[in-house]
Amino acid sequence: MADWLALKGRPALVVGAGGLGGASAVSLAAQGARVALADVDEHNLEAVARAAKEAGGAIETIPADLRDPERCRQVVDEAAARIGVPQVFLHAVGRNVRRPVLDLTDADWQQIVELNLSTAYWLGQHAGRLMVGAGYGRMIFVSSVSGLLAHADHAPYAATKGGLNQLVRVMAREWAARGVTVNAVAPGYIETDLTKDHLDKNGNRAALERLVPAQRLGVPEEVADAVTFLASDRAGFITGQVLYVDGGRVLV
């Protein structure tokens, strides 16, 4: 069935060019979406644009430091000017600090909350405003199993992902009648450039694999597949949901 996902020509703004965001941008572009990709790391932007071209798609890149609400709004407006009002929006920005609660500094907390949660709110609010005005939108946010599970040494990260899940639900409730769906994908243990160093230390890879019923780690393309589905017309009656892409991790 040709163009089963109906993404060809749809303007899509992806924020975050790291492993999961980058893989998702390539997947959307390969389906024919008109993708704008924003990230502070220009090297990542260039690498993802090359990968999209090799996959038969194209990506417009927007270098941007998003730790400012006005810059977030500017990025959404710039994407709209370059590719059209976004019909798909993906937030894939975030990082973790692995320390016990008693060892965290004020700066640790503030920086993680700002990057992981505040940028989701600032960007999601402005993209949502445009989508509500247009009467159509597919919004996806990258959450984590840490938003549900109580992992030690993950306090700020887990708090932001739990908060993100609730932000998604409220946005979905407010915008459902306006043609805008809002969902999250919650990856489990995925091997990316950001996690590779941690996985390669102290037997962490094997220890984490033992916690997953599927007995393996995920790869970014598996998260990208879930994002691409939620971005499509095939997911038009799905909203306010957190889709776990975790090999069964939250089951145990």
CA-CA-CA-CA dihedral for 174, 180, 186, 192, to nearest 10: -140
Residue 138 and residue 175 in contact, taking contact as beta carbons nearer than 8 Å: no
- Using CA atoms, how far apart are residues 81 and 67, in angstroms rounded to an integer? 22
Task: Give start and end residues of each alpha helix (H) in the chain.
Answer: 19-30, 42-54, 69-83, 106-112, 119-134, 155-175, 193-199, 204-211, 220-230
189 has catalytic annotation:
no
Write the DSSP symbol of residue 119: H
Owner of token pair 């709209």: 80
Residue 220 and residue 23 in contact, taking contact as beta carbons nearer than 8 Å: yes
- Number of neighbours of residue 249 by Cβ within 10 angstroms: 21
- Using CA atoms, how far apart are residues 173 and 219, in angstroms rounded to an integer? 31
Question: Which amino acid, 117?
Answer: L
The terminus-to-terminus CA distance of the chain in angstroms comes to 38
Q: Which of 121, 157, 189, 244 is catalytic?
A: 157
Residue 140 and residue 227 in contact, taking contact as beta carbons nearer than 8 Å: yes
Catalytically active residues, by annotation: 157
